[in-house]
Amino acid sequence: MVHDQRSALSSFVSRLLSMGRTVFTAEEAEDALGVGRGALLDAAERLQRRKALLNPRQGFYVVVPPQFASWGAPPPAWYIDDLMRYEGHAYYVGLLKAAELHGATHQAVMEFQVVSAKRLPKIRAGRNLIVFYFRKEMGTVASGIENRKTDTGTMKISSAALTALDLLRYPQASAGIDNVATVLSDLGQKIDPGQLAMLSASVERPVVQRLGHLLDRLGHEDVSGPMLTALLARGTASWVELDRNEARDPDFAPEPQERDARWRVVVRRVPEVDE
């Protein structure tokens, strides 16, 4: 009987792949196979051990096509939209992964980075690591979220403008100020200045100041100009450190190399851009 259930689930999975589908829910499989939750879990566990199935969240399954068996999972882009719809949370693929999708590819991105309206634990999906970053007010950046076609449908990603802001807003995800500057050297020319200015109004002022300084340093003053106008409309900004890590310990902080009066940013070390 157990063998029959496993065989039935294998056939169900094969039918999904033949229809171009790579995900299903536990409820969907139970209805299709006429089995209970316990029987489904047993059959699914066996397929997971054979690396034919992935279970990134309870009740949600991803089929692993044969060509991705050695990876243990298909690319997250194949199923992230279905997963987040199942979770019931607004999201977008962002940060370094979005920058890569926009053509800023100086180095391989080790994480599949997602910004979500809820704090969620990371997911190890075969060789992939899906990491979630929290944004409380997703509605304020809705104009900076785009739909991107994937091999299995679509997914939501941040625009170049929103990506740039997020790189400074989530420094723990961006691999340091040198890497941010390197990514912006490619991403800058793809940013819509008007959209950047509009989105910046919903972002903390220090984030805007740091991004503005970096864009200017990289020769994108035409992109940063409207954002500066929007920043000045919010009142006088306080001075901020370009890299907070440089000034974390006052006793060991290097002396400022420059002070950018336009953006009121203190630069203790000039970022190095990887050419």
Closest CA relative to residue 64, chosen from 111, 7, 23, 18: 23
Q: Where residue 74 falls among pLDDT bands split at 50, 70, 90?
A: very high
The pLDDT assigned to 255 comes to 85
Question: In this model, does residue 220 exceed pLDDT 90?
Answer: yes
Integer Cα distance of 74 and 58 in angstroms: 18
**Cβ neighbours of 138 (radius 10 Å):** 16
What's the whole-number mean pLDDT along residues 90-101?
97
The residue that leads in pLDDT, 244 or 59, is 59
2 pLDDT exceeds 50? Answer: no
Domain boundaries, the chain: 2-69, 77-267
- For residue 10, pLDDT over 60 is answered with yes
SS (H, E, C) the chain: CHHHHHHHHHHHHHHHHHCCCCEEEHHHHHHHHCCCHHHHHHHHHHHHHCCCEEEEECCEEEECCHHHCCCCCCCHHHCHHHHHHHHCCCEEECHHHHHHHCCCCCCCCCCEEEEECCCCCCEEECCEEEEEEECCCHHHHHHHEEEEECCCCEEEEECHHHHHHHHHHCHHHCCCHHHHHHHHHHHHHHCCHHHHHHHHCCCCHHHHHHHHHHHHHCCCHHHHHHHHHHHHCCCCCCCEECCHHHHCCCCCCCCCCEEECCCCEEECCCCCCCC
**Across all residues in the chain, what is the average pLDDT?**
93
Fold of 2-69: Arc Repressor Mutant, subunit A (1.10.10)
Q: What percent of the chain has pLDDT over 70?
A: 95
The residue written with tokens 């920058």 in the block is 99
Q: Which of 137, 142, 136 is nearest to 161 (CA)?
A: 142
How much is the pLDDT for 206?
97
Which pLDDT score, from 0 to 100, does residue 105 have? Answer: 73
CA distances from 55 to 49, 127, 224, 254 (A): 11, 14, 43, 48
**Per-residue pLDDT tens over the stretch 198-210:** 999 999 999 999 9
1 — pLDDT class (breaks 50, 70, 90): very low
In the predicted structure, residue 26 carries a pLDDT above the cut 60:
yes
Query: What's the Cα-to-Cα distance from 178 to each of 14, 68, 217, rounded to whole Å?
Result: 46, 34, 12
pLDDT at site 219: 96
Question: pTM (2 decimals)?
Answer: 0.92
The reported pLDDT for the residue numbered 29 is: 95
User: Does the structure show a pLDDT above 90 at 251?
Assistant: no
Confidence (pLDDT) at 244: 87
Average pLDDT over residues 76-95: 97
112-159 confidence digits (pLDDT tens): 999 999 999 999 999 999 999 999 999 999 999 999 999 999 999 999
Is the Cβ–Cβ distance between 102 and 163 less than 8 Å? Answer: yes
Whether residue 3 has pLDDT greater than 50: no
Longest dimension (CA), the chain: 75
